[in-house]
Chain A
């Protein structure tokens, strides 16, 4: 994954951020999102997409693009199951930062930064983010 450079624009507290779900085990049977989807690894930051002015179609287009990129790089099928929408204010409440970081394929790409290095502290933040997340299944 290539992240050219961050930009300094601020993301408003009520802005929605989408974490695309490419592993079905991240979603519970009751269609809530598991905290595992928010653990930042192997990168120090968590990669999400700012909704901003994107239409649903645009958002899913970015997700298909990510899956396609993964499929090309690994040679294995990559499936988008859905996305977890979280509110920027819920992220900053966890003392994490929301840093716009556009990429050539996603001008709305954002990194959630400032994760603590130890696993239990990461987990409790991931649990809090998951508790406020809304799962949106991919369109058929």
Chain B
């Protein structure tokens, strides 16, 4: 069974990040972020995510020059790396972390995988669109959506379906 703790309001409201909010709201947000960072440093909640972040950095380094796949692949640009980092950062605490790769069009991919026929792949584009495709046994799902602060419930639900026992 997977344990998912939401680290941002379920309403999807964007947390305050500038001085345009009240000092109290900013204080609460800073305390909340600091608490989440401390949890992420623990072995229980943080190790998988940290490994994924390391893999993301390594993939970006390997794929930031053209033709990294030997078949004229496009380079992965900074915008894609930053967007993919944000997607990883936005994963609910306790959720299984994905593995990372790149696609020949310069997108970075995050994959949740149980078997070749039970897998979810997200492609992160420079314009911060997420293109997803999932095989769930005999069923499949695919589509696109923009990424803002958090993954949509559609994608979170697909992750849970792929990774559930």
Please judge, given known A-B contacts A22-B70, A22-B71, A25-B59, whether A36 and B135 are in contact too, CB under 8 Å: no
Query: A22 to B133, Cβ gap below 8 A?
Result: no
Q: Which of B77-85, B103-111, B148-156 contacts A (4 or more CB under 8 A)?
A: B103-111
Number of residues of chain B lying within 8 A (CB) of chain A: 36
Q: Which of A3-11, A50-58, A123-131 contacts B (4 or more CB under 8 A)?
A: A123-131
- Decide yes or no whether B62 CB sits under 8 A from chain A: yes
- Decide yes or no whether B143 CB sits under 8 A from chain A: yes
Nearest CB in chain B to that of A80: its residue = B70
Query: B67 to A120, Cβ gap below 8 A?
Result: no
- Decide yes or no whether A26 CB sits under 8 A from chain B: yes
Query: B99 to A28, Cβ gap below 8 A?
Result: yes
Q: Which A residues have a C-beta under 8 Å from some C-beta of B?
A: 1, 20, 22-23, 25-26, 28, 32, 34-36, 39-43, 47, 66-67, 70, 74, 76, 78, 118-121, 123-124, 126-128, 130-133
Q: Which B residues have a C-beta under 8 Å from some C-beta of A?
A: 59, 62-63, 67-74, 99, 101-105, 107, 109, 111, 113, 116-117, 119, 121, 123, 125, 131-135, 140, 142-144
A-B contact pairs, 20 of them (CB 8 A): A22-B71, A25-B63, A26-B69, A28-B99, A28-B113, A41-B105, A42-B74, A47-B71, A78-B70, A119-B105, A120-B142, A120-B143, A124-B140, A124-B142, A126-B133, A127-B121, A127-B135, A131-B135, A132-B116, A133-B116
